[in-house]
Amino acid sequence: MWSWLQRLRSAASEEVVEAESAALPSELLRQVRRLEVRSKRQVRDLLAGQYASVFRGSGLQFEEVREYLPGDDVRFIDWNVTARLGLPYVKRYREERERTLLLVVDISASEGFGTGGHTKWERSLEVAALIGLSAVLNQDKVGLITFASDVERIVPPRKGMPHVLRLLRDLMWYRPTGRGTNLAAALRRVRRLARRQAIVFLISDFCSSGYDRDFKIVAKHHDLVAICVFDERELRVPRNIGILPIRDPETGHTLVLNTHRRADRERMEQQRRAQMERLRQLCRACNVDLIELSTDTQPVHALLRFFRGREKRLAHG
């Protein structure tokens, strides 16, 4: 299903594509539409209401004053009106539902790895589509930041389905100029772009370091959710399949792995496990939700578990 993505990315221009949809290749338009239809169905059938229930509005707006009813919160009694009319009255507020959501998506070379039929990049694209469509169907603004060795692309937040489809098109079409994973640069750009509190989904394999300080600052001012995309083979190297040359897609360096040697396998596994454990500790310290998404897991199921878990935590204070 996803072979078109690799063909498109390898053939894409290094310049940012600014052409309107009518000027895009018909194959790309078909795939954007296919992704839209599939994601919309999952959002409608499985995620409906979940997104809105776990992400609160940015504030409260006064709506009316009405007579006090049993069960009303006494903190909202309007004492001036109560004294004037001789009966208790309360102020009513409604939540300002408009929110801004930022998709911060890793498009580095390491995202191209995958052994179970899907790459990390393909799963990142799917989960970004599900989140973006959930947000726009709830009338929220959606923006996009893509990054590799540095920030590659910024699309300011806007409302509307055509805008979200443009974001998905950009994710499919744009070819990064860098190969590394610079999470710190992406997080610093979030700080400059989002002046007011926003919902920030950081989608990456987190094959990076030196981003802790910026992560903490973003988590302090925004509702940050980290989605770590990984492949099971990164954590469990196959045994006894011979001597393998392994090339780092970001640096280009190649090493030889002897899968018959336990020490070699554990050294490879430990590096990735250590990256993920550091991320878990950082998320716990910052009270940030973490979604660990394997390439062999359907993103919609991972999001459902996240939404339901967060809803339970909110319900229990």
174 lies in the same domain as 74: no
Alpha carbons within 13 A on the beta-carbon side of 112: 18
The average pLDDT across 195-217 equals 95
Number of domains in the chain: 2
65 lies in the same domain as 150: no
Residue 116: DSSP 8-state: S
CATH number of 158's domain: 3.40.50.410
Q: Where a domain ends, among 96, 125, 152?
A: 96
The pTM for the full model equals 0.78
Given pLDDT bands bounded at 50, 70 and 90, which one contains residue 63? Answer: low
The average pLDDT across 139-168 equals 94
Given pLDDT bands bounded at 50, 70 and 90, which one contains residue 174? Answer: confident
76 lies in the same domain as 149: no
3-state secondary structure at position 287: coil
Given pLDDT bands bounded at 50, 70 and 90, which one contains residue 7? Answer: very low
Distance from C-alpha of 268 to C-alpha of 271, rounded to nearest angstrom:
6
161 lies in the same domain as 287: yes
87 lies in the same domain as 127: no
Q: Looking at the domain assignment, is residue 14 inside a domain?
A: no
67 lies in the same domain as 183: no
Give the angle 119-292-306 at the CA atoms, nearest 5°.
Answer: 120
Burial class (CB in 10 A: 0-12, 13-18, 19+), 311: middle
pLDDT in tens, 226-258: 999 999 988 888 777 778 777 777 777 777 777
The domain containing residue 81 runs over which residues? 59-96
Q: Looking at the domain assignment, is residue 15 inside a domain?
A: no
Per the model's pLDDT, the better-predicted residue between 80 and 6 turns out to be 80
Q: Looking at the domain assignment, is residue 177 inside a domain?
A: yes
In 3D, which of 136, 133, 99, 117 has the Cα closest to residue 295? 117
Is the C-alpha dihedral spanning 161, 162, 166, 172 positive or negative?
positive
In 3D, which of 213, 220, 130, 206 has the Cα closest to residue 168? 130
Q: Looking at the domain assignment, is residue 185 inside a domain?
A: yes
Residue 235: C-alpha distances to residues 82, 118, 228, 231, 281 (Å): 65, 16, 13, 7, 18
85 lies in the same domain as 170: no
pLDDT at 190 over 80: yes
Q: Looking at the domain assignment, is residue 16 inside a domain?
A: no
163 lies in the same domain as 70: no
231 lies in the same domain as 83: no
174 lies in the same domain as 121: yes
Q: What is the pLDDT of residue 10?
A: 36
Amino acid identity, position 50: Q
83 lies in the same domain as 146: no
41 lies in the same domain as 91: no
3-state secondary structure at position 184: helix
The average pLDDT across 1-12 equals 36
The average pLDDT across 113-135 equals 92
